[in-house]
A = this chain, B = another copy of it.
Amino acid sequence: MKTMSVTSGFDDFYAIIPAGGVGTRLWPLSRQDKPKFLYDLLGQGRTLIQSTFDRLAALAGVDHVCISTGAHHVAAVRKQLPEIDDSRIFAEPSPRDSTAAIALATAVLAKRHGDQIIVGSFAADHVIRGKADFIEAVRQAVETARAGYVTTIGIAASRPSTAFGYIHEGPSLAAEIPDAPDAHLVERFVEKPDSATAQAYLSTGEYRWNAGMFVMRADVLLKHLHESRPALAEAIDRIAEGIVRDDEALEEAMHDARLEGKNPREAVDARDFHQFRDEAMSANWYGIEKIAFDYSVAEPLSLSGGVAMIPGDFGWDDIGDFNSVAALLPSVNERNVKILGDTDLVAMRDSAGDVVVPDANRLIALLGVNDMVVVDTPDALLVAPRARSQEVKAMVKYLSEIGHDEVL
């Protein structure tokens, strides 16, 4: 299964894309059945997960990128990313948070390629602008991971955001890891702060945003999990074992087909090689602890000096809400109006600073409407001030409470 990677220095690096979150604050564009990573939120012709894949495939090679996602999103992911082989899509029967997602992919990759490989986890719905800076940061992260550190990439905090956790930078590791001159130990991870605290963090120059990017040697991660979360680690191990037994069954069937003079792909296409995985999932998945990777791995390991950070100074955004969408879209006029979709569907008079999403092929007429979000979808319409973009999540919760599940 060894393949060429595109960028040198990444031969033993595998990228994992956990594709999970719905992106509730982007409702009614994002839905439970169509989460935000499936949308082209920048209007650039590629969805967020496609862009994430492009970025990582350019770095590690197509065959070194895998995706962990909910079983009900697999069809949509396959459709958007036909390049990804079925064996590199890990379908979760139910959400079990990021530790399980990253651990399962890592365990399978370790069994397939050896536990000295480096794995890196990168969310499916983030936007990164500076491609070269990103590659350099990941390269240094891979070097640092090779030295045994769980390595995160700390995003330059461009404003005192209260929407992200922060990373407090510790001493430099440059002397220890010459190939990663920007590496530092992580002093500690801190939760999403209030506004004053965020401002204080920024003024020290020692804090960066935690974007949940982690790069590490497979054996380092798996060993830590076996020690700190043995039940989770063992359940994951059994499921990974099922998946590689499926791999072997598939290989065997293709081998047999070759001996019989058949096209091996065609010979196996109609058959299902997920029997061992499905059995192991049934027996082990549902009992797995739901815990974020930050809590299970990053925070505890940082206390014992096991976590490093590479500063990431590429443009980054998680497009959490419509304000984030607005920040990333070009203005359609001198009044700072942003439109995600067909601009011909929006007619404005005396309107400025709005974020408009015409997603229902209807004309949207705005008269004297300033700094508002208007999201028009075939079955639901949202109107809100931009300043309240974060509260869309609460609106969705409210819709659920009053029984509007049909639009969630």
Contacts and interface: CB of A to CB of B under 8 A. Distances in A.
Contacts of A347: 395, 398-399, 402, 404
B363 A404 contact: yes
A399 B368 contact: no
Interface residues of A, number: 33
A381 interface: yes
A379 interface: yes
B402 A383 contact: no
B384 A367 contact: yes
A256 to B, nearest CB: 55
Contacts of A177: none
Interface string A374-396: 10101111111101100110110
Residue in A364, A367, A368, A407 whose Cβ sees the most chain B Cβ within 10 Å = A367
A362 B381 CA distance: 7
A271 interface: no
B363 A391 contact: no
A322 to B, nearest CB: 11
A369 B384 contact: yes
Contact of A391 (B364, B367, B374): B367
Nearest to A373: B367
A382 B365 contact: yes
A23 interface: no
B374 A362 contact: no
Please give the count of copies of this chain that the complex contains: 2
A378 B376 CA distance: 11
A167 interface: no
Interface in A331-389: 347, 349, 362-369, 372, 374, 376, 378-385, 387-388
A364 B381 contact: yes
Contacts of A404: 347, 363
A368 B391 contact: yes
B391 A28 contact: no
B383 A367 contact: yes
A366 B383 contact: yes
Contacts of A368: 384-385, 387-388, 391
Interface string A102-113: 000000000000
A32 to B, nearest CB: 15
A399 B382 CA distance: 23
A366 B398 CA distance: 11
Given A362-B380, A368-B384, 19 more contacts: A347-B404, A362-B379, A362-B381, A363-B381, A363-B399, A364-B380, A364-B381, A365-B380, A365-B383, A365-B399, A366-B383, A367-B382, A367-B383, A367-B391, A367-B395, A368-B387, A368-B391, A369-B372, A369-B384
Interface of A: 28, 347, 349, 362-369, 372, 374, 376, 378-385, 387-388, 391-392, 394-395, 398-399, 402, 404, 407
Q: Which 5 A-B pairs have the closest CB atoms?
A: A367-B384, A363-B380, A368-B388, A367-B395, A365-B382
9 contacts: A347-B399, A362-B381, A363-B379, A364-B383, A365-B383, A367-B382, A368-B391, A369-B384, A381-B381
